[in-house]
Chain A
Amino acid sequence: GAVVSQHPSWVICKSGTSVKIECRSLDFQATTMFWYRQFPKQSLMLMATSNEGSKATYEQGVEKDKFLINHASLTLSTLTVTSAHPEDSSFYICSARGFWERPYEQYFGPGTRLTVT
């Protein structure tokens, strides 16, 4: 099956700094990638959708200047949390879909835990 990885799996950063999370499709070309946020014991909320080579589309209420998404290649998307604050602490999950996949076939990464101190 298709594999999606995320790096790092856990990151701790100080308030005010920026942190980058990578999402890679290891064995397929991901034309579309999705970024989700999951607070403890809560559901996954879609933050943004990115298509390779295009600007990301953000969901309502998500600050695009705070959560910078880059999908520069068919195997890599990055999420940068800029000027992180403790309230940005959360679990971030990416998923990916290839061009030839059926619309419902999205493959999830293992997630990244961000802790802002």
Chain B
Amino acid sequence: AQTVTQSQPEMSVQEAETVTLSCTYDTSENNYYLFWYKQPPSRQMILVIRQEAYKQQNATENRFSVNFQKAAKSFSLKISDSQLGDTAMYFCAFMKLDSGTYKYIFGTGTRLKVLA
């Protein structure tokens, strides 16, 4: 069974600093998708970044970038120049094909607090 592990329940970072959130996953599949989602206090799920497993190049979205290590099954998120608005719960997610439908498996989350 596929699993997603986020080993850091809580983290904090000073404003303008860089922080890295870790995520590991377990799968026997070769083609899949990985995601980082942000859930602010409003609880609306917001897509931060996506990585397709067949792409070797790490995805980047402005201040957000990932370090995708397929062999190690690791998918960490780096937030550069942290801003107060980055304070949120961050979920790593794996998408798998199950009975003909692509479904998410979410990690347990990392609560990030950006300090002024």
Residue ranges of A at the interface with B (Cβ–Cβ < 8 Å): 32, 34, 38, 41-46, 49, 51, 57, 91, 93, 95, 103-104, 106, 108, 110-111
- Give residues 98-116 of B contacting A (CB, 8 Å): 99, 101-109, 111
Output the nearest chain B residue to A1 by Cβ-Cβ distance: B47
- Say whether B75 faces chain A, with CB atoms less than 8 Å apart: no
- Give the CA-CA distance A40 to B28 in the complex, in Å: 31
List B residues at the A interface (Cβ < 8 Å). Answer: 33, 35, 42-45, 50, 91, 95, 97, 99, 101-109, 111
List 10 A-B residue pairs with CB atoms under 8 Å apart, sorted by A's residue number.
A38-B43, A42-B108, A43-B91, A43-B107, A43-B108, A46-B103, A49-B103, A104-B33, A104-B50, A111-B43
For the residues of B in contact with A, the DSSP-based class is strand
B-chain residues with CB within 8 Å of residue A43 when the two chains form the complex? 91, 106-109
Q: Are B43 and A91 neighbours in the complex by a CB distance under 8 Å?
A: yes
